């Protein structure tokens, strides 16, 4: 059996796979053109989902399984060459630590005025700025899954009140309470920080819109570490410009890379990052147990026993 590890940015250590599965032929390629050279012989591809495009799928007539190293897999099912019987699994469940830490980067930068403090340091200005705490503040996390649980537990360690918004769960570790999605506007009004962590679907597209921003406190921070299209970006820009909300921390956008013409680049109350939320220096350590388990199921013909089955 031969498999392809498409690894442009080093998220997967194929050396470990070769050691754990000595009878398996593992092709590791960082370049898509080189990957096409061996694709026809491979029955599985392991990759970050956004690197798997239709030309690769079209070159893999024996493909039986796509092992996504990311949580999001929505674009895979839209690939024209993808056969309906190809199994897809996701990397869901491993990204909690890095996503939670990125959210804290936004929150602490915002409440502690880190940008201004750094500028004062560079200008040799001694200005004992007013300091705000996360302690006793309310964070509302829309979407209650594995990442949200990791974030909520860290928020509790900071003394924050944690409220979730979900239609699928009524309780979860780290949450003080969970409200239904129909009450999103009420929840937004309670938030000192409102975090988008919902999956992208028809019902969540532009879920965070002008009505949501109007319901928020003028002192509140909005954070999007979910998907860009869950936010109505023009409405967010207007809310930020008008002072309807105080700031935003954004890792994902409707168009990526974020166009140079986007006003988000220059808004002083925005901290943006180039979709780094899922990245970590120990990604392979985090993902390897899941990949190993599913690969063993694949080799043994137990595909129904795989974890994180998308379809």
Cα 209 to Cα 239: distance, rounded to the nearest angstrom: 10
Residue 9 pLDDT: 82
Q: Tokens at residue 97, please?
A: 């630590």
Confidence of residue 182 (pLDDT cuts 50, 70, 90): very high
Confidence of residue 97 (pLDDT cuts 50, 70, 90): very high
The dihedral sign for the CA sequence 104, 147, 229, 190:
negative
Q: Does the pLDDT value for residue 13 go beyond 90?
A: no
Confidence of residue 146 (pLDDT cuts 50, 70, 90): very high
Q: Tokens at residue 273, please?
A: 């990052």
Residue count of the chain:
311
Residue 311 pLDDT: 95
**pLDDT tens figures, 51-87:** 999 999 999 999 999 999 998 898 899 999 999 999 9
Query: Whose CA is closest to 248, among 231, 19, 79?
Result: 231
What is the average per-residue pLDDT within 146-161? 97
Q: What is the mean pLDDT of the chain?
A: 96
What is the average per-residue pLDDT within 196-224? 97
**CATH code for residues 96-272:** 3.40.50.720
pTM of the model: 0.92
Q: Does the pLDDT value for residue 250 go beyond 90?
A: yes
Domain 2-94+282-305 CATH class label: alpha beta
Residue 20 pLDDT: 94
What is the average per-residue pLDDT within 192-198? 98
Looking at the chain, the domain(s) classified CATH 3.40.50.720 span 2-94+282-305, 96-272
Concatenate the DSSP letters of all residues of 38-63 into one string: HGGG-SEEEE-GGG--HHHHHT-TT-
Q: Are 193 and 140 in contact (CB under 8 A)?
A: yes
Confidence of residue 12 (pLDDT cuts 50, 70, 90): confident
Cα 189 to Cα 276: distance, rounded to the nearest angstrom: 28
Which of the 8 DSSP states describes residue 188? H
Confidence of residue 245 (pLDDT cuts 50, 70, 90): very high
Cα 81 to Cα 88: distance, rounded to the nearest angstrom: 14
Percent of the chain with pLDDT over 70: 100
What is the average per-residue pLDDT within 139-157? 97
Angle between helices 96-111 and 146-157 (to 10 degrees): 40
Choice between 64 and 10, residue whose per-residue pLDDT is larger:
64
Q: Does the pLDDT value for residue 124 go beyond 90?
A: yes
Residue 141 pLDDT: 98
Which of the 8 DSSP states describes residue 191? -
Burial class (CB in 10 A: 0-12, 13-18, 19+), 197: buried
What is the average per-residue pLDDT within 197-203? 94
According to DSSP, the residues that pair with 109 across neighbouring strands are none
Choice between 55 and 13, residue whose per-residue pLDDT is larger:
55
Q: Does the pLDDT value for residue 286 go beyond 90?
A: yes
Residue 74 pLDDT: 87
């Amino acid at each position: 059996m031969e498999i392809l590890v498409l690894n442009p940015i080093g998220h997967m250590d194929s050396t470990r796979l070769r050691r754990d599965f000595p009878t398996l032929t593992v092709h590791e390629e960082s370049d898509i053109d080189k990957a096409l050279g061996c694709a026809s012989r491979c029955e599985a591809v392991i990759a970050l989902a956004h690197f798997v495009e239709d030309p690769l799928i079209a070159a893999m007539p024996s493909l039986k399984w796509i092992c996504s190293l990311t949580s999001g897999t929505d674009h895979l099912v839209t690939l024209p060459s993808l056969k309906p019987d190809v199994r897809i699994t996701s990397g869901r469940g491993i990204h909690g630590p890095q996503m939670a830490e990125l959210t804290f980067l936004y929150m602490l930068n915002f409440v502690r005025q880190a940008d201004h403090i750094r500028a004062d340091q560079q200008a040799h200005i001694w200005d004992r700025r007013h300091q705000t705490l996360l302690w006793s503040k309310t964070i509302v996390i829309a979407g209650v899954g594995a990442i949200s649980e990791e974030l909520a537990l860290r928020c509790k360690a900071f003394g924050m009140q944690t409220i979730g918004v979900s239609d699928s769960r009524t309780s979860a570790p780290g949450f003080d309470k969970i409200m239904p999605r129909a009450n999103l506007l009420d929840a937004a009004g309670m938030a000192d920080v409102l975090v988008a962590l919902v999956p992208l679907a028809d019902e969540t597209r532009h879920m965070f819109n002008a009505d949501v921003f109007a319901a928020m406190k003028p002192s509140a921070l909005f954070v999007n570490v979910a998907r860009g299209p869950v936010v109505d970006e023009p409405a967010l820009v207007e809310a930020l410009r008008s002072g309807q909300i105080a700031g935003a921390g954004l890792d994902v956008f409707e168009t990526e890379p974020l166009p140079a013409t986007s006003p988000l680049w220059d808004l002083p109350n925005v901290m943006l990052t180039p979709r780094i939320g899922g990245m970590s220096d120990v990604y392979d350590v985090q993902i390897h147990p899941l990949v190993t388990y599913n690969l063993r199921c694949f080799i043994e013909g137990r595909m129904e026993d795989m974890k994180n089955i998308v379809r």
